[in-house]
Amino acid sequence: MKPSVHPCPRPLSRARPALGAAAVLALVAAAGAPTTAAAAEPDKAYCADTYRNAQIQRKSGALLRARESLLVCVSDRCPSMMQPDCTRWLTEVEAALPSVAFAAKGVDGKDVTAVRVTMDGQHLTETLDGKSISLDPGSHTLRFEHADEPPIEQTIIVREGEKARVVSVSWARPEEGARGRELASPRSERRTPTSAWILGGVGVGAVATFGALALHGMSRRSDLEKECFGSCRQEQVDSIKTQLLIADVALGVGVVSLGAAAVLFFTGGGPSPPARDRDSAARAASRPGIVSFGLAPQRNGGAASFAARF
């Protein structure tokens, strides 16, 4: 009776022609080894199928399935002639495979972890732990469910090579957040009273009137002194005095108006009124108002006029 002869088991490790044994083992360990019976003990036909399918899956954008196929054909149990290509493709797929991490806030604005997440109807996770999840590139619809709150759906577009993108959702109440910001920053827009602008305009106009009258009066007095040589008629002298007096009055009006405008500008401002009050103020501001000044030279002097209507 001849003793039975058992074939020697196939070696479980070989030299890597592209990345080396350490790099390939790291990729396989990071992605996770296949668990199906066919993947555990692949034959040559199965290895050939994964080799061919991996290329098709890469081109169609199914990078997750391509990675599963490549993890089979880089195995020592597949023919060595396939392994250099599979090793290179696996490295490229890992680099192109995008990933996302999820974050969520509850009704109180604080982070929550007990959130159920589905993507395109497929379950992803029940707990948010900050770790990223790999997924195929393209458009995906995410659904977030937390406690008794209404679910939140969000559509995202993930690009190849985009790593650890953070997708955040919140169940916080918008009105509570707005109220908190209002209490934290009670600043309001300061408005300048309309009367300050009106008085400022009156003051500028009065000062301009003073300048014009004073220059004209001084010029007339100089001319009169040259003509009369001290023997001018009384009405001529009185006309010049009246013009210079009007100039002095205009100067006084201008100084007082500008001073009052400055006081109102720096002390009369207040917070902006509500929307309906702003509308009323806008309608009042749109009403026609007239502030006018006039200077008319005459034969024996000049006449100044001022008019305001609000």
pLDDT on residue 143: 96
Number of H helices, E strands in the chain: 9, 11
Higher-pLDDT residue of 190, 258: 258
Pairing of strands 165-170, 99-105: parallel
Please tell me the class of the 99-180 domain: mainly beta
- Indicate the domain borders of the chain: 21-96, 99-180, 191-309
Q: At 21, list the tokens.
A: 């044994």
Q: For the stretch 134-148, what's the b/e string if a residue is b when 16 or more beta carbons lie within 10 angstroms of its beta carbon?
A: ebbbeebebbbebee
Each residue of 188-231: pLDDT tens digit? Answer: 556 777 877 787 788 788 888 888 877 887 887 777 777 776 67
Per mean pLDDT, which range of 22-31, 152-161, 218-227, 256-265 is the poorest?
22-31
pLDDT at 178 over 60: no
Pick the most confident of 123-137, 170-184, 242-256: 123-137
Distance (Å, whole) CA 34 – CA 36 = 6
Distance (Å, whole) CA 307 – CA 205 = 11
pLDDT bin (cut points 50, 70, 90) of residue 88 is very high
